Structure 1
Amino acid sequence: MGRTLLASLAISCFACQPKLSLEKAEAKMSEKQMKDYIQVLASDEFQGRKPFSEGEVKTIDYISNVYSNLGLTPAVENSYLQEVPLVEVSVGVDQSMNFNTNGKEKNIRYKDDFVIFSRRLDDSIEVKNSELVFAGYGIVAPEYGWNDYKNLDVKGKTVLVLVNDPGLDSGDDNLFKGNEMTYYGRWSYKYEEAARQGAAALLIIHDTKGAGYPWSVVLNSALVPKLYQQSKNKYADRAAMEGWLTQDIATEIFVDNKLNLEEAILDAKKKGFKGFALDTKMSMTIRNSYREDKTNNVIGTIKGSDLSDECIVYSAHWDHLGIGRKMNGDSIYNGAVDNGTSLAWMFEIARAFKAMPTPRRSIVFLAPSAEESGLNGSAYYVSHPVFPLNKTVANINNDLMLPYGRMKDLMVTGYGQSELDDYAEEAAKEQGRYILKDPNPHTGMYYRADHFSFAKAGVPALFARGNNDHIEKGKDYMSKKEKDWLANNYHKPFDEYQDWWDLSGVKEDAQLMFRIGWKLANEDTFPKWKAGSEFKAVREKQMAN
């Protein structure tokens, strides 16, 4: 029997499924159960769910048990665990960073003024009397006609760059994507590009708006051991040092060079900007200790029927920052919202699917590891997928789902990228809600969560949640709540479960995303990237093969 006949029979069968079946499945979702999941995962016992730790063992065992209780099938050789080989690098900093400007010495303080780290797997790493070069935003983007490194010699030198894109606060929506960050604005890209240019070190000038978070987030992330993919050349091809400077220190360096940083920032937004050397040299020595080990993605599946070789992937990362810098007497970074709420969201979506007849396509539930260290778990998954990427219909990911109740909006981060937006809009209307583009696109959230690993590999990915317009208290209320949470809880020990939490909004988002996944699972078409998406060509080549 051919696929066409099978498809027509399956479609007619699923068309007969009453709406009541979906509603009954959605009714299986439990806000109380969500709270139970989070209270366990974000408890001190789990030690902040750091990969390579006792907290990891507890976490992956717990998620495996949840999957088993839900009736999900192990995805990897009768196991829910997919091993992810990584290297953990810890930096030791015993000294200040030294700048010498025409004989004038400036020593700046670790943590207060700068953070530094290195991917290189060497015990001691030194950058000595390295000439400072300002390279604007540190971007080479042919499609935008942009090259900050053109005719700029940075080999063996220390490069200073700005965070984000030239379009930020430029007033020009056609300059890159205006206030919407592109991948070129991310710190990860800037480190990669500096390495390609042969730089000895790259220092990003911190700006809270441009980065999307305050210095405290940079600091807390820098102080925990870094996790990277294992490298055959021990990252000898990366810059010797990568790090951040506060804007105040960068301003002082420019003043010492009789220059104005604010003017340089404005110039760096202009097409044809030319980088320049400063009369300053940097010296710094750090120590690295490292170990290779394996962390684990946790993957469960529901096998489909006639299209079982195709799949939809739901994802929510399990890891957080572990035990870190003590704040107000607490050193356990529990990660209740980041990312306990999204794990609960995904578990309850799985519960709803198990209450339905077998979908045509298979469903994958992926809890990646090492998201906080640079999307490492999801990146490994897309390189070693359970289903081939050209058989992977879509990824539906979530992260940072706030516990303040139901929302009128469904905020789509990266709106306009793919046809999944249209699925989201239809499902939102069924709930009496509306689609909202991310009102803070300058933060680059589309490039900061696990769906990006799928998008970068060509698979259409959706990242959407209610976030901005409270069903009773409105937009101003949620704006204040979100800002307060980001300022006081994000990547801090205070991201802990509270009894007052209202997860009715997380549950409603789970019901909405369940409906999207159910529809995708019972079609025989593939959603596409929209015109203008940087991922469109990758997918088209992938599907052609």
Structure 2
Amino acid sequence: MTFFNFPRLSYFRSFELMNKLIMQGLLALACGLPAAAQQAPAKIKVKTKNAAASATSAAVDWSRTYAATIVPAELRQRLTVVASDAFQGREVGQPGQKLAADYLVKQLTEIGLQGPVTGGDTPYLQHFQLTRGNYAEGGYLKVNDQRFEWLSDFFSYGPMASPFLKETVSKPVFVGFGVEQGTYSDYNGLDVKGRDVVALMGEPQDDRGHKLLKPMGRKPDYWDSGLRKAALAKAHGARSIFLVTFAPTAAFRKEAEQFASTLHDPAFSLPEPGPEIIDTVAENIPPGIGVYLTSQDLGLALAGTTMNGLLDYVRAVGAAGRALPSPFQSPTATVFLPQKEEQLTTENVMGYLEGSDKKDEVLVISAHYDHLGVKHDTIYNGADDDGSGTVAVLQIAQAFAKAKKEGHGPRRSILFVLMTAEEEGLFGSEYYTAHPVLPLASTIADLNIDMVGRTDRKHSPKKHFVCLVGSDKLSSELHTISEAANRDYTKLELDYRFNVPGEPEHIYYRSDHYNFARRKIPVIFYTTGEHVDYHKATDDVEKIEFDKLAERAQLVFHTAWTLANREQRIVVDSNKP
């Protein structure tokens, strides 16, 4: 799962759960009644029921039958390969990711799926280009004829694509503390789409030092994170955010020297992103956002004030107990942040199962197979993130292919997509939804699986659960079908804590389903929450709970079975934030 969809700054969370199902056999028909007794040997008449009627009355539940083929042993077998050292952490564009793609193609071929991609070297791979960039020397920012230097007066909050590759004239917008919670909003009345915002680090406080905003769950310092402020700025459509520290400039420059070494990791972007989408939740969300820490002197210059003026503003907010409009006039600034760039090729992997009488409609079942690669000679295998989702998709595909081979195939077609470059910013799904191999207008839903092999910190290891995100946001029917599938079959505890409006972790925006949802395609995101090995080298196969992984994959299968076989396509009738 990616982190706020920031290019290469991506890293966040996920989850797990499930239980076994048993095959249901066909009952033998026929029962007999003896005739009345005679002195002579009596013939026994056997009354046989009509075979067709009996078959109908004892109809097999094929969803249960084929879901039962999704078993822990096969999941373990496949995940042991996907999350092995041989694939070197499956980093996008690197040899390990290519090896993983080759393995997945072989698996989809053996399962019996078709390749839906035309015009390429193989119909199972959708190739596309990514730009890989690193900051170059010579960056600067000018305000009021004063020049501030890159890596001295400001630096980025980690590696990310620069929005200022050419010298860019900007009119910054001061947004106070850059926070929004309940009735408190520093963005109230401001239009920052495509603009560069300036925000103070920290949170608003009253004159006694008490924070004005209530703690966010178990995160009392939630808004102290610059990344969360950046996520909010991005949701409002900002191009970049400059975070002003209160540390003296000399102290800041020492910190900048130490932090500079972290900026050597690459940042990624799509050279040709899809067209702008008016989102159901936040309009015109950009593909990425620049996030920069500034020295005190540069921050004051960007805000258009002095330290005394800034302190007066902070005190006024505390006294009012609410966000106040800025009294400052930010001056025009000029920004130049060059990058060294190279192009690389990566690929989504996909397999197609054609439906019967409703084959022109398609259901997408997805997961991402890339991970973080090798860092400091240590391989990050990503067994849960998202090896668990990858092998779940393979097992679900195998179950549907078996059903079709035995004469019980789906009415609608199913496209199984294993996305690349999710960790770098959801680029695989962004590219697919901008360049679909099957029409998006015919795509009824996306069921996306990302981290479903572990138990998170919230749940007891004894719990059989899964977290669902997005099921009710675009289609009430999809949510009803999902609930029914769990009630009738898997009986897991369904956790919707990531599905509520204003959810602080922004999980809804942080995996591949989101690019489908942006285009008004109903989605369900299956995950199981953050655990201690999230985005660490210790996320290994040995820690996966395969019985629970099988149960969760079965829930996805049962939901998909209904979606693929019901008479009417699900309606899009909801629009929840």
Q: Are 2:115 and 1:115 aligned?
A: no
Q: Offset at 1:466? A: 5.1
The corresponding residue for 1:508 is 551
- Aligned residue for 1:442, secondary structure, equals coil
1:77-92 matches, cutoff 5 A:
77=118, 79-92=123-136
Aligned residue identity for 2:482: A
Pick one of 85, 105, 114 that aligns with 1:44.
Answer: 85
- Aligned residue for 1:495, secondary structure, equals coil
In 2, the alpha carbon distance for the partners of 1:321 and 1:111 equals 27
Q: Are 2:287 and 1:228 aligned?
A: no
The corresponding residue for 1:416 is 472
In 1, the alpha carbon distance for the partners of 2:154 and 2:56 equals 60
- Aligned residue for 2:78, secondary structure, equals helix
The corresponding residue for 1:148 is 187
Question: Residues 88 and 380 of structure 2 are in contact (CA less than 8 Å); yes or no, is this contact kept in structure 1?
Answer: yes
From the superposition, tell whether residues 422 and 146 of structure 1 become closer, same or farther in structure 2 (CA, over 3 Å). Answer: same
- Aligned residue for 1:316, secondary structure, equals strand
The corresponding residue for 1:61 is 102
From the superposition, tell whether residues 518 and 241 of structure 1 become closer, same or farther in structure 2 (CA, over 3 Å). Answer: closer
In 2, the alpha carbon distance for the partners of 1:413 and 1:521 equals 20
Question: Residues 135 and 159 of structure 1 are in contact (CA less than 8 Å); yes or no, is this contact kept in structure 2?
Answer: yes
From the superposition, tell whether residues 321 and 246 of structure 1 become closer, same or farther in structure 2 (CA, over 3 Å). Answer: farther
Q: Deviations over 1:128-165 (max 9, x none)?
A: 9x89753247699xxx998938578999976337899x
The corresponding residue for 1:437 is 496
Q: Offset at 1:89? A: 1.7
Aligned residue identity for 1:518: W
In 1, the alpha carbon distance for the partners of 2:201 and 2:409 equals 51
Pick one of 346, 353, 359 that aligns with 2:393.
Answer: 346
From the superposition, tell whether residues 310 and 382 of structure 1 become closer, same or farther in structure 2 (CA, over 3 Å). Answer: same
Question: Residues 301 and 363 of structure 1 are in contact (CA less than 8 Å); yes or no, is this contact kept in structure 2?
Answer: yes
- Aligned residue for 2:537, secondary structure, equals coil
Pick one of 511, 517, 533 that aligns with 2:576.
Answer: 533
The corresponding residue for 2:12 is none
The corresponding residue for 1:4 is none
In 2, the alpha carbon distance for the partners of 1:398 and 1:240 equals 23
Pick one of 216, 237, 242 that aligns with 2:290.
Answer: 242
In 2, the alpha carbon distance for the partners of 1:279 and 1:33 equals 60
Question: Residues 48 and 55 of structure 1 are in contact (CA less than 8 Å); yes or no, is this contact kept in structure 2?
Answer: yes
In 1, the alpha carbon distance for the partners of 2:243 and 2:396 equals 40
Pick one of 302, 308, 315 that aligns with 2:353.
Answer: 302
Aligned residue identity for 1:502: E
Q: Are 2:504 and 1:460 aligned?
A: no
- Aligned residue for 2:109, secondary structure, equals helix
Question: Residues 187 and 204 of structure 1 are in contact (CA less than 8 Å); yes or no, is this contact kept in structure 2?
Answer: no
Pick one of 394, 411, 422 that aligns with 1:371.
Answer: 422
Aligned residue identity for 1:503: F
RMSD: 5.0
In 1, the alpha carbon distance for the partners of 2:494 and 2:570 equals 18
In 1, the alpha carbon distance for the partners of 2:557 and 2:151 equals 51
Question: Residues 75 and 301 of structure 1 are in contact (CA less than 8 Å); yes or no, is this contact kept in structure 2?
Answer: yes
Q: Which has the higher strand share?
A: 1
Pick one of 431, 434, 439 that aligns with 1:380.
Answer: 431
Q: Are 2:117 and 1:76 aligned?
A: yes
From the superposition, tell whether residues 72 and 107 of structure 1 become closer, same or farther in structure 2 (CA, over 3 Å). Answer: closer
The corresponding residue for 1:235 is none
Q: Offset at 1:450? A: 0.5
The corresponding residue for 1:355 is 402
Question: Residues 161 and 202 of structure 1 are in contact (CA less than 8 Å); yes or no, is this contact kept in structure 2?
Answer: no
Q: Taking CA–CA contacts closer than 8 Å with sequence separation of 6 or more, which of the two structures ends up with the larger relative contact order?
A: 2
In 1, the alpha carbon distance for the partners of 2:87 and 2:153 equals 30
User: Which has the larger displacement, 149-158 or 282-291?
Assistant: 149-158
Q: Offset at 1:513? A: 0.8
Structure 2 unaligned regions, length at least 5: 1-52, 204-211, 217-222, 246-258, 274-285, 456-460
Question: Residues 133 and 154 of structure 1 are in contact (CA less than 8 Å); yes or no, is this contact kept in structure 2?
Answer: no
From the superposition, tell whether residues 371 and 107 of structure 1 become closer, same or farther in structure 2 (CA, over 3 Å). Answer: closer
Question: Residues 406 and 506 of structure 1 are in contact (CA less than 8 Å); yes or no, is this contact kept in structure 2?
Answer: no
The corresponding residue for 1:135 is 175
Q: Deviations over 1:370-402 (max 9, x none)?
A: 111221111111122222112111100011224
In 2, the alpha carbon distance for the partners of 1:240 and 1:413 equals 22
Q: Are 2:445 and 1:394 aligned?
A: yes
Question: Residues 319 and 371 of structure 1 are in contact (CA less than 8 Å); yes or no, is this contact kept in structure 2?
Answer: yes
Pick one of 533, 539, 545 that aligns with 1:495.
Answer: 539
Question: Residues 194 and 238 of structure 2 are in contact (CA less than 8 Å); yes or no, is this contact kept in structure 1?
Answer: no
Q: Deviations over 1:59-85 (max 9, x none)?
A: 110110111121111111361001123
In 1, the alpha carbon distance for the partners of 2:202 and 2:444 equals 33
Question: Residues 317 and 371 of structure 1 are in contact (CA less than 8 Å); yes or no, is this contact kept in structure 2?
Answer: yes
In 2, the alpha carbon distance for the partners of 1:490 and 1:110 equals 33
Pick one of 181, 187, 190 that aligns with 2:231.
Answer: 187
Q: Offset at 1:520? A: 0.6
From the superposition, tell whether residues 509 and 288 of structure 1 become closer, same or farther in structure 2 (CA, over 3 Å). Answer: same
In 2, the alpha carbon distance for the partners of 1:24 and 1:241 equals 47
Q: Which has the higher helix share?
A: 1
Q: Provide TM-score, normalisation by structure 1.
A: 0.69
In 2, the alpha carbon distance for the partners of 1:99 and 1:392 equals 48
Q: Deviations over 1:237-262 (max 9, x none)?
A: x9998124499999999998244698
Q: Provide TM-score, normalisation by structure 2.
A: 0.65
- Aligned residue for 1:194, secondary structure, equals coil
Aligned residue identity for 2:307: N
From the superposition, tell whether residues 121 and 43 of structure 1 become closer, same or farther in structure 2 (CA, over 3 Å). Answer: farther
Q: Offset at 1:523? A: 1.4
Q: Offset at 1:270? A: 5.1
Q: Deviations over 1:170-227 (max 9, x none)?
A: 699xxxxxx9xxxx987396288334xxxxx523589xxxxxxxxxxx9999653222
